[in-house]
Amino acid sequence: MADHVDSDCRQENGRRQKQTLCDQFDGLYTILEERKKELVESVSREQDRKLRHVRGLLRRHGDHLEAAVKLVETAIQSMDEPQMAVFLQNQPRKSAPAP
């Protein structure tokens, strides 16, 4: 009888320890899932920030490229102009700086 009671106690103790261990793993899993969610959100925010930066750079460099193309077109037209006086007449007038 004492052996039976001892065996029952060991089984009960084993079940409690197993449950405690499972509860601890569940807690760790929950913590890991929360951390994963935080990291994914952080990465997404960083990707969005970098994407906005790259789009700004593309826009700015596109504007610079457009200005450079216009300048080259004007330079080509001026080189094609046989008479310099006509070239000067076609240039936009700039106001003289104030003394």
Contact 78, 87 (CB under 8 A): yes
The pLDDT tens digits of the residues spanning 41-92 come to 999 999 999 999 999 999 999 999 999 999 999 888 877 766 666 656 666 6
Q: Is the pLDDT of residue 99 over 60?
A: no
Cα–Cα distances in angstroms (integers) from residue 84 to residues 12, 66, 70, 89, 94, in the given order = 106, 26, 20, 9, 18
Predicted TM-score of the model (pTM): 0.54
Q: Is the pLDDT of residue 20 over 70?
A: yes
Cα–Cα distances in angstroms (integers) from residue 32 to residues 15, 52, 98, in the given order = 25, 30, 70
Q: How far is CA 69 from the centre of its chain?
A: 31
How far is residue 86's CA from residue 90's CA, in Å, rounded to a whole number? 6
